[in-house]
Structure 1
Amino acid sequence: MEDFYGLNEKGPDGKPTAEATDRMKTYQAMLGIKANNCTCGGRVFPSAPCDVFRPPDPARKAAIEGHWSEPETMGKFYTDFITENPSAIADFRAANPKEFPPSGGPRFNKTNHLTPKSAGGCPDNPGNLQPHDTLCAACKLIDDQFGEWQNNNPGWRGKWNTAFRESRIKRWRVAGFTPSWW
């Protein structure tokens, strides 16, 4: 993951580049946001065994995107998710009354791949999938940032700073956050 998102990119001197340092600080803030501000229990960080990032493979990505553009695929994931998590939508609504409510079916508006399609993430493994509809605002902020990095958007800092400011999350609560497992 660190290589894919450029968190440990090194310069000619062997030290982290300025870009990598900024991304790592942002990643630490993202971990802090998840730990301190999440109200949904949703997943935004990949975990084993679905945390394998492969080199970019445009053909594999196109195949996964084609598969997920089929209504049957999206409908099956919705049905499987609700079957495994029957109270997920009600729990989300209770914990997040001011958030836009999740889809009531027959499919979610968006399904996130925790290990992205462009990195060869498991296309159908529930361990790699998260309904975007059931993410709270804090987790959507994190997911949006991963999207900016995946798209190699050079303006990611500005978007992050604006979104972070609009979230009203206190920077001192998440800056330099270090989880216990780090």
Structure 2
Amino acid sequence: MLRRVLVLPVLLLTLVAASGCGGGGEKAQEGGAHVAAGRAAAAGSPAAAPSSCPTETTKHFAKTRFAADAGLAFGAFHRYIWNPYQAGAFKQGANGRTKAFAKAAAAGLFAANRINAARKLIGADPTLCKALKVPAEKVSAMFSSLAGRFESGRLDQAQIGSARSAVDGLKTDAQSQAGTSIQEKTPNLGG
């Protein structure tokens, strides 16, 4: 009961903050999407088919807006999921575990929202599309799945590690293949 009381206000705050960021984003993929290997799966995936990518940029400042949305998503992931995981905040009996789970669930939803907005921008730029479409879809599925796991109170340590690898891989690919640097920005989700 206490977990639900804490999670609801955090989720509502996240949704209000995300809707104020603009770019509504497409609906996050529903739970059940499980991606076992992060960076390895992204590396083994073929690039987006040229026919599914635009031949010219269809949205103004697509690369800049992509970098901003991805930076917010990755900042939320590192601040509220990866760092607490490394510190042991999700372990049974850890001090503040319930609060850490609530913040991680909110961060997962926020990160999924921002990476979905970034995915729309990837589809609007030919360079981004060819280099980042498939890896961004994998990261999006991972964030959605992580949010669902944290909401239900179930922790999958391998999934957190895979998500970190996928995030780091997407940042590297954005820099090396699309010439776009992603600077992480940490959103304030209440602490």
- Under a length normalisation based on structure 2, what TM-score does the superposition of the two structures give? 0.34
Pair member with larger Rg: 1
- Under a length normalisation based on structure 1, what TM-score does the superposition of the two structures give? 0.35
> Which of the two has greater helix per residue?
2
Higher relative contact order (Cα pairs below 8 Å, separated by 6+ residues): 2
